[in-house]
Structure 1
Amino acid sequence: MVVLKEFYLGAVVIIALRLFLFMIGFGFAVAGGITIIAYLNIMTTGHGFLQYLLFMKGRPETYLFFSGISIIWVSIYFPFRR
């Protein structure tokens, strides 16, 4: 009976950790994705797509987006088994 409770508590902690990582990753991806879309307005000022990509390469929001997607992927697919 004690082993079952410890296993259940461990499973709850792992699920809570996965949910926490998912929410952090989702927040990063949303913040980065919104700014990536917002910076598309640079192209209306006469800049081309290549200049847009070069501009976005230096912005931290781009890396927020990709790190958020990576954290979401880890929280869903990474095995947290013992």
Structure 2
Amino acid sequence: MRFILFLTGFGLAVAGGISFIMYFNLLAAGMTWSDYLSFTMRRPECYLFFIGWLLMFFGFIE
């Protein structure tokens, strides 16, 4: 069960991390860092990164 929880968390963290990297292109389009952080914190797919880390953490400690 812990391994499944860890793998699920890893997959979600990768998906969320790719979203953060994809949105880095907005910096090249003229956004500032504060605009970038504000934008990414409003995107639901970026929450997958933090949810994934949380699941991986619980996969380790259980």
Taking structure 1 as the reference length, the TM-score comes to 0.73
Moved over 6 A (4+): none
Q: How does 1:1-82 map to 2 (within 5 A)?
A: 17-78=1-62
Specify the code of the residue in structure 2 equivalent to 1:71.
L
Which runs of 5 or more residues in structure 2 are unaligned?
A: none
Which runs of 5 or more residues in structure 1 are unaligned?
A: 1-16
How many residue pairs are counted as aligned between the two chains? 62
Matched residue SS, 1:19: helix
Q: Which has the higher contact order (CA 8 A, sep 6+)?
A: 2
CA-CA distance at 1:60 after TM superposition? 1.0
Taking structure 2 as the reference length, the TM-score comes to 0.95
Specify the code of the residue in structure 2 equivalent to 1:50.
S
